[in-house]
Structure 1
Amino acid sequence: MAHIDYYFATLSPFTYLSGTRPAEVAKKHGATIAYKPLDIMALFARTGGTPPKDRHPNRQAYRLQDMARRSKLLGAPLNLKPAFWPTNGAPSSYAIIAAQNTGGDVAALVKAFGAACWADERDISQDDVVRDCLEKTGFDPALADKDMMTSADTFAKNLEDAVSAGAFGAPFFITDTGECFWGEDRIDDLDAYLAGNI
């Protein structure tokens, strides 16, 4: 059975635009998927990336154009400059880690946090938003406070695992064969790879 490690940041617009498609691709091919939220700014620092605010104006302008185009193509509403971005991605990440340990629709939860930040102008660092996203996707809102030390350790380990495995951005997909796919626009490539077409 194939396996996918899905490295992502709840703050990433491209994680939001990925929606539930990574889970759908995994299911289509009978693959397992592990959700590995991480600190994207720390990943950038460790792998030679640059935070969006520090990029050359040409790169900043292109990023906004690309986000707008992708949101239209995917039918996903998106505010190019949301009110609560950047913010602390740890609380939402901890909730995802705790939720994954209980089962349930983790893909829907990841999408809910992305929509809260990028479409609904909500601060995903706030406890009430975290609890609301958990509840709306069928999880116990109390997971927001469950095993936080374990979740914090896992969050930190995800960063180390990402660097070791070759990831440098989000979303980033790595198969059990070591094949890497970076970006929301590479999910179709991941699909094709798992199908044996590339």
Structure 2
Amino acid sequence: MARHIDYYFSTPSPWTFMGHAPFMDLVRTYSLDVAFRPVALGPVFAETGGLPLPKRAPARQDYRLVELQRWRVKRNVELNIHPRFWPFDQTRADQTIIAALQAGLPVDALMRRIFAGVWQREENLADPATLAAIADEVGLPGSSLVLAAESEAAASAYDENRALAIAAGVFGAPSYVLDGEVFWGQDRLDLLADALASGRSPYRPIKAQ
């Protein structure tokens, strides 16, 4: 039976962008069953003690800028450190992905193209026409998906993703949850690969006695 992973991600996240392709490589290698769960990080941070980027200490903000440079080289990807349309309201982009999932459509190519739009192509992913054109480009029905993204069903699923993320112990994106064990960050993909290869039981927090 295929192993299941809950994949919590955020469309404005550079770490989600850089981790998506190698994660999908793992999906293919291990024939994983994946629940794609876009999630708004603001409410997750509020529930789990995280801070949005502008409220972090300057040293942390500076370190992030260095890490972005390191990882774009490590992953061999083009990445604009300061994209023109970032940050942006991610709701429509996230719910467009949800609408595709609810329609039974594949989302890998759509996600890759959305991430590229943010971090490589200087596109405004809050704009519905841009999203529709992107979906069309990857062979999906753009106009109908963007319309469905405004539905109560998409909004409800988006809210549910947030609740599921918090219940699972997720506090940032991307997070990959395997058998209840959270792997936070694209820099943990090697550890996720190790867990998949070994078939080990999930680790749990060991509380002090």
| TM-score, normalised via structure 1 length | 0.94
CA RMSD of aligned residues (A): 1.4
Query: In the alignment, residue 189 of structure 1 is paired with which amino acid?
Result: L
Counterparts of 1:154-193 in structure 2, within 5 Å, are 154-175=157-178, 177-193=179-195
Report the counterpart of residue 207 of structure 2 in structure 1.
none
Report the counterpart of residue 147 of structure 2 in structure 1.
145
Structure 1 SS opposite 2:198: coil
Q: Contact conserved, 1:16 with 1:114, CA < 8 A, in 2?
A: yes
| TM-score, normalised via structure 2 length | 0.89
Q: Provide, for residues 130-179 of structure 1, a one-character-per-residue CA deviation record: whole Å limited to 9, x for no partner.
A: 1122122221112111262111111111001000000000000001x211
Q: CA–CA distance in 1 between the matches of 2:96 and 2:191?
A: 29
Query: Gapped runs of 5+ residues in structure 2?
Result: 201-209
Q: Provide, for residues 54-107 of structure 1, a one-character-per-residue CA deviation record: whole Å limited to 9, x for no partner.
A: 111110000011011111221211111111111110111111011123344312
Report the counterpart of residue 64 of structure 1 in structure 2.
65
Against the structure 1 CA distance between its residues 102 and 188, is the aligned structure 2 distance closer, same or farther, given a 3 Å change threshold?
Answer: farther
Q: CA–CA distance in 2 between the matches of 1:132 and 1:19?
A: 21
- Percent sequence identity is 33
Against the structure 1 CA distance between its residues 188 and 23, is the aligned structure 2 distance closer, same or farther, given a 3 Å change threshold?
Answer: same
Counting matched residue pairs gives 197
Q: CA–CA distance in 2 between the matches of 1:129 and 1:106?
A: 17
Q: CA–CA distance in 1 between the matches of 2:35 and 2:13?
A: 18
Query: Gapped runs of 5+ residues in structure 1?
Result: none
Report the counterpart of residue 33 of structure 2 in structure 1.
32
Q: Contact conserved, 1:23 with 1:33, CA < 8 A, in 2?
A: no
Q: Contact conserved, 1:99 with 1:143, CA < 8 A, in 2?
A: yes
Report the counterpart of residue 132 of structure 1 in structure 2.
133
Q: CA–CA distance in 2 between the matches of 1:20 and 1:138?
A: 19
Query: In the alignment, residue 127 of structure 1 is paired with which amino acid?
Result: P
